Structure 1
Amino acid sequence: MTSAATKSRVEDKLYQNRYLVDSGRPHIKVRPHQKPSANLLALTHVCPAKCYELNDKGQVEITADGCMECGTCQILCGTTGEIEWNYPRGGFGILFKFG
């Protein structure tokens, strides 16, 4: 049985990744909405990088810094038009480190 000290956590592995922020040019935007849909609300729970959150006005917002470009938001909201998703510009975004 592996001891807790030698067991890797997902957070420890994710910490090894690096992210180069493209200031002022996020590659994902949440489109304006009156009331967030169930899918937008789900993003506040299922995004592995925790990029989506509910603000004090009840709107879903994104902070794209740290986005892992996993596609979860595209699966939930890509066909509904609730988000605008593009690849980051060259040289920006996630840099995965394996180890």
Structure 2
Amino acid sequence: MTAPLTVRVEDKLYQNRYLVDTGRVHIKVRPHASPTPELRALLTACPAGCYALNGAGQVEIAADGCVECGTCRLIAEPSGDIEWSYPRGGYGVLYKFG
């Protein structure tokens, strides 16, 4: 009997391609001195790992790898911690396998 095949999320995300809309980021984190619980939740909830703490302890986003799953919209947009909009047509994630 063979061991089950395992695939890391990072390996699957690597298959996607992204067309970055330079100068028109579709997700913005509101300025904050310290992150709210909703912003801190994004550090682990985002499946693409787009959110990180900077040296000042603030949450930042690198939207270049966003898979547009909507997780951050459910967690932080209602609280006003982020501003989210769809990328312009033709930009954003380009799924390789559908």
> If the length of structure 1 is used for normalisation, what is the TM-score?
0.88
Q: What is the percentage of aligned positions where both structures have the same residue? A: 65
Q: Hey, what's the Cα distance between the residues in 1 that align with 2:87 and 2:77?
A: 16
RMSD over aligned CA atoms reads 1.7
Structure 1 position 15, deviation (Å): 1.5
Structure 1 position 45, deviation (Å): 1.2
Structure 1: tracts of 5 or more residues without a match: none
Q: Hey, what's the Cα distance between the residues in 2 that align with 1:40 and 1:2?
A: 42
Over 3 Å counting, the alpha-carbon distance change for 1:48 and 1:85 in structure 2 is same
Structure 1 position 38, deviation (Å): 0.8
Is the Cα contact below 8 Å between 2:38 and 2:81 reproduced in 1? no
Structure 1 position 60, deviation (Å): 0.5
- Count of matched residue positions in the alignment of Structure 1 and Structure 2: 98
Over 3 Å counting, the alpha-carbon distance change for 1:9 and 1:2 in structure 2 is farther
Task: Map residues 1-99 of structure 1 onto 2, 5 A cutoff.
Answer: 1-3=1-3, 7-98=6-97
Q: Give the partner amino acid of 2:78.
A: T
